[in-house]
Amino acid sequence: MENPRSARRQRAPDPIAREILLAFWKVHILHHAEQGPVYGQWVLGELRRHGFEVSPGTVYPLLARMAEHGWLRPDARRRSASPKARRSYVLTQEGARTLQRLREQVVELHREVIVEAGTTGGHGRSNSATNRR
């Protein structure tokens, strides 16, 4: 009988998760970090609450990369001497600017992909755009 843990590791990575959902998750994390400190276990629970199957091996490196980019920083007020202690992250000024920019882009994307798709029969083009072909 195959060990379920090894079976999980052997699955091919989901290209949608790798290429697209990681970006969505970053926006989601920045949004919540704007409201207050976030930490890995909380992020795992939050993403799972929204139906995403995400592992600690994805979330913790993601938080570290976001800190490397300067969007988050470890919350010094909640830092413990223990290396195993929970590390909370807070939004930086650069993270706040990035979040604002992303919100503007999400609004535009939502308008085109969701709102306009509903009025154009799902083709994403208005009649005038279709007539120009």
**CATH code, 124:** 1.10.10.10
87 within some domain? yes
What is the predicted pLDDT for the residue at 77?
75
Helix or strand holding residue 39 (H, E): strand 38-39
2 within some domain? no
**pLDDT tens by residue, 10-49:** 455 678 877 889 999 999 999 999 999 999 999 999 999 9
**Residue 115: pLDDT over 70:** yes
Helices in 69-131 by DSSP H: which ranges?
Answer: 93-110, 116-119, 127-131
The CB density around residue 41, as the number of other CB atoms within 10 Å, is 12
Q: Evaluate whether 60 touches 111 at the Cβ level (below 8 Å).
A: no
Judged by DSSP in three states, 4 sits in: helix
**pLDDT tens by residue, 60-113:** 999 999 999 999 999 987 665 666 678 999 999 999 999 999 999 999 999 999
5 within some domain? no
3 within some domain? no
96 within some domain? yes
**Percentage of the chain with pLDDT > 70?**
74
**Residue 4: pLDDT over 60:** no
115 within some domain? yes
**Residue 8: pLDDT over 60:** no
What is the predicted pLDDT for the residue at 90?
97
Q: How many domains does the chain have?
A: 1
Nearest C-alpha neighbor of 88 from the set 31, 36, 15: 36
What is the predicted pLDDT for the residue at 16?
82
Q: Which domain holds residue 59?
A: 12-131
